[in-house]
Amino acid sequence: MAVKLTKLIVLLVTSIPIFLPLSSPSTTYTTLNQGSSLSSPGDVLVSSPSRVFTAGFYPVGDNAYCLSIWFTRARAVVWMANRDHPVNGKATKLSLLHSGNLVLQDAGLLPVWTSNTAASTAAVALRLLDSGDLVLGSKENSSHVIWRSFDSPTNTLLPGQPLTVNTKLTSSTSPTNHSSGFYKLYFDNDNVLRLLFSGSDLSSVFWPAPWKASWESGRSTYNNSKTAVLDRRGGFSSSDDFKFKTSDFGAGPRRRMTLDADGVLRVYSWRRKWEVTWQLPVPPCSVNGVCGVNSLCTYSTYSSAGLGRSCACLPWHRAKNVGDWSEGCVPDFDRIPRCDSADVFLRISHTEFYGYDIGFDQNKTLEECESICLSYCDCRGFQYKFDWGAGVYNCFPKTLLFNGLQSTGFDSPFYLRLPPSSSSWSETKPLPLQLQCNNSVVELERVYTRENKYGLLRSLAWSAGVLGAVEVVCVLVFLYKTRACGEKLRDQSFIQVATGFTSYGVVVLEMVTGKSPKEIDFDLVDEDTSSSSVSDGIEECDGLKNLVRVALQCAQEKSDARPSMREVVHMLLTH
């Protein structure tokens, strides 16, 4: 009897691994030696000794991967080798050649990225340190470093990682698109740490405030060591005297400093989720390029959810691309006002456009300022500003309407040049808020994942069916065989059968989420599994959700919380 029981359990347990090849085999390394390689998509190199970081192939799109380093638990990417040239998910390899060169080769065997470290003489090895630094160094002497990822940061600086004259941070295009974006943090030639907006047509520094001298912003230009570092306690200091401490200053959480896709530099601390513990103290609208040309940025308050910032087109303009505010607005009228002395001006209160001045004319009346603007074919409008010091009005005609900001804090109006044709240009017309740059993150479609999920769903449905059938038969056989046995034995055996059942739940969860059982947060399991982290991102797929719900219930720790086989079959069939 006992032998049969053991066989039964062995059968139950072994029936599970048959379905495991669905997720391709992958290897976890702690050191990569010469002549070996990491294969996409599954192989990883974990940091030692505490596995805080993982290096491997991070999915960025439709069968597209980037060689990356991320926080193992918190899943935030901190470095990418090939952010602008993602590689294929299959047959891509990161190889440490015998020459000592580290090469990322796509399926076509083309090197997509290399560390350029050939010709090192000693035996080398690739290691990931618990600081998040991927280091290629001598195999024997770990302090002899040939190449390190800390020297080529992407958008994130980790504690202890210096920003130097040779390195800069470049934001991502969007929260979901990891390719190089518009914002850069770097040391300028005058030794000052700056933030630059560098768009396709325009580029300008916006921090520290460009209209102030460096010393007025508390920066020193004299120390040419050009280094800045965030320490482990959350203190940041730069050689130009810029310093800050995070709100949770002190030893404790893991931190990262990231130049986000919206141009804001933030420090995040990990406490079961990433929390912002410092961000660049600039008014959100002063981040250049945020609203594009011919538009106005407005903001109410700093809120925990975001910056409370929104974009609106100038009157008689409309959004060029409602989905991407940075493309700005285009005139709603046929003809750009140009070289026509009959052009008219529309007053827009509490509004300022920064930069792109044709000139600066002191002590001018409104009429004088209008005729100055009309005298330039390229003048699109002018700022008319009272100078409290001199007690006169100054005139700032502009060629380009960029960095527009509307706030009740501004007294001065802006005058927009419009073609003469219509007398209906109205001052009172409210600004059409066609363009909203709210901070809700719009997720990009990840076709690859989606397709894969459907494929997976099919395999899962099959495996669920087969497993279900096997288990039903086994349980029936088992019940039949054990009907003569004592109560005690029966109870005990049921627990073991149920354990097999639990592992089925765990395996399904693992396949659906791509997480290891350790990472799946079973505490979150409740009636409404749609709110659990496990089902995040699969809302669009009801069948899969159902499967996850069943799997979650099967994986409950208390046996009486788990559904019976009949309920499972019912749940799987009724959807």
Ligand X SMILES: *[C@@H]1O[C@H](CO)[C@@H](O)[C@H](O)[C@H]1NC(C)=O
Residue type, 463: S
> Does position 239 bind ligand X by CB under 6 A?
yes
Q: Shortest approach of ligand X to residue 229 CB, angstroms? A: 8
Q: Shortest approach of ligand X to residue 390 CB, angstroms? A: 6
CA dist., res. 287 & res. 204, Å (int)? 10
Which C-beta is closer to ligand X: that of 149 or that of 326? 326
Q: Shortest approach of ligand X to residue 329 CB, angstroms? A: 16
> Does position 390 bind ligand X by CB under 6 A?
yes
3 state SS for 158-220: CCCCCEECCCCEEEECCCCCCCEEEEEEEECCCCCEEEEEECCCCEEEEECCCCCCHHHHCCC
Residue 335 structure tokens: 């003809």
Q: Shortest approach of ligand X to residue 306 CB, angstroms? A: 10
Which residue stretch of 116-124, 151-159, 439-447, 470-478 sits at the interface with ligand X (rule: CB under 6 A)?
439-447
Which residue stretch of 117-125, 221-229, 253-261, 408-416 sits at the interface with ligand X (rule: CB under 6 A)?
221-229
Which are the contacts of 484, defined by CB distance < 8 A and separation ≥ 6?
none
Q: Shortest approach of ligand X to residue 531 CB, angstroms? A: 21
Q: How far is CA 156 from CA 151, 296, 494, in A?
A: 12, 30, 52
Cβ count near 179 (within 10 Å): 17
Which C-beta is closer to ligand X: that of 12 or that of 66? 66
> Does position 223 bind ligand X by CB under 6 A?
yes
Q: Which of 37, 152, 204, 227 binds ligand X (CB under 6 A)?
A: 227
CA dist., res. 61 & res. 64, Å (int)? 5
Q: Shortest approach of ligand X to residue 555 CB, angstroms? A: 34
> Does position 117 bind ligand X by CB under 6 A?
no
Which C-beta is closer to ligand X: that of 31 or that of 436? 436
Q: Shortest approach of ligand X to residue 322 CB, angstroms? A: 9
Report 131-150 residues binding ligand X (CB under 6 A).
141, 143-144
> Does position 363 bind ligand X by CB under 6 A?
yes
> Does position 321 bind ligand X by CB under 6 A?
no
**567 φψ region: left (φ > 0), alpha (ψ -120 to 50), beta (else):** alpha
Residue 317 structure tokens: 């303009």
Q: Shortest approach of ligand X to residue 171 CB, angstroms? A: 12
Q: How far is CA 49 from CA 129, 131, 423, in A?
A: 8, 11, 74
> Does position 198 bind ligand X by CB under 6 A?
no
Q: Shortest approach of ligand X to residue 448 CB, angstroms? A: 10
Report 148-177 residues binding ligand X (CB under 6 A).
173, 177
Q: Shortest approach of ligand X to residue 510 CB, angstroms? A: 27
Residue 521 structure tokens: 């947060």
Residue 436, helix vs strand vs coil: coil
Would you say 370 and 397 are in contact if contact means Cβ atoms under 8 Å apart?
no
> Does position 91 bind ligand X by CB under 6 A?
no
> Does position 442 bind ligand X by CB under 6 A?
yes
Q: How far is CA 554 from CA 336, 419, 571, in A?
A: 67, 70, 12
> Does position 122 bind ligand X by CB under 6 A?
no
> Does position 225 bind ligand X by CB under 6 A?
yes
Q: Shortest approach of ligand X to residue 45 CB, angstroms? A: 22
Q: How far is CA 80 from CA 72, 103, 255, 415, 530, in A?
A: 15, 14, 18, 46, 32
Phi, psi angle pair for 8, to nearest 5°: -60, -45
Site string for ligand X, 178-197 (x = CB under 6 A): -x------------------
Residue type, 143: S
Which are the contacts of 464, defined by CB distance < 8 A and separation ≥ 6?
508, 547, 572
End-to-end CA distance of the chain: 39
Residue 449 structure tokens: 């994942």
Residue 451, helix vs strand vs coil: helix
Q: Which of 438, 499, 502, 556 binds ligand X (CB under 6 A)?
A: 438
> Does position 436 bind ligand X by CB under 6 A?
yes
> Does position 347 bind ligand X by CB under 6 A?
no
Which C-beta is closer to ligand X: that of 385 or that of 490? 385
Q: Shortest approach of ligand X to residue 178 CB, angstroms? A: 8
Alpha-carbon dihedral angle through residues 547, 550, 552, 554, given to the nearest 10 degrees: -130
Residue 434 structure tokens: 């066609």
E strand intervals along 404-544: 404-406, 414-418
Q: Which of 444, 477, 524, 561 binds ligand X (CB under 6 A)?
A: 444
CA dist., res. 267 & res. 233, Å (int)? 12
Q: Shortest approach of ligand X to residue 532 CB, angstroms? A: 24
Q: Shortest approach of ligand X to residue 534 CB, angstroms? A: 25
CA dist., res. 118 & res. 123, Å (int)? 12
Site string for ligand X, 22-61 (x = CB under 6 A): ---------------------------------------x
Which C-beta is closer to ligand X: that of 14 or that of 363? 363
Q: Which of 336, 339, 392, 524 binds ligand X (CB under 6 A)?
A: 392
> Does position 120 bind ligand X by CB under 6 A?
no
Give, as one character, the DSSP assignment of residue 327.
Answer: G
> Does position 428 bind ligand X by CB under 6 A?
no
| Total site size for ligand X, rule CB under 6 A | 19
Which residue stretch of 312-320, 414-422, 440-448, 549-557 sits at the interface with ligand X (rule: CB under 6 A)?
440-448
Alpha-carbon dihedral angle through residues 163, 164, 169, 170, given to the nearest 10 degrees: 180
CA dist., res. 543 & res. 175, Å (int)? 28
- The residue ranges that bind ligand X (CB under 6 A) are 61, 141, 143-144, 173, 177, 179, 223, 225, 227, 239, 363, 390, 392, 436, 438, 440, 442, 444
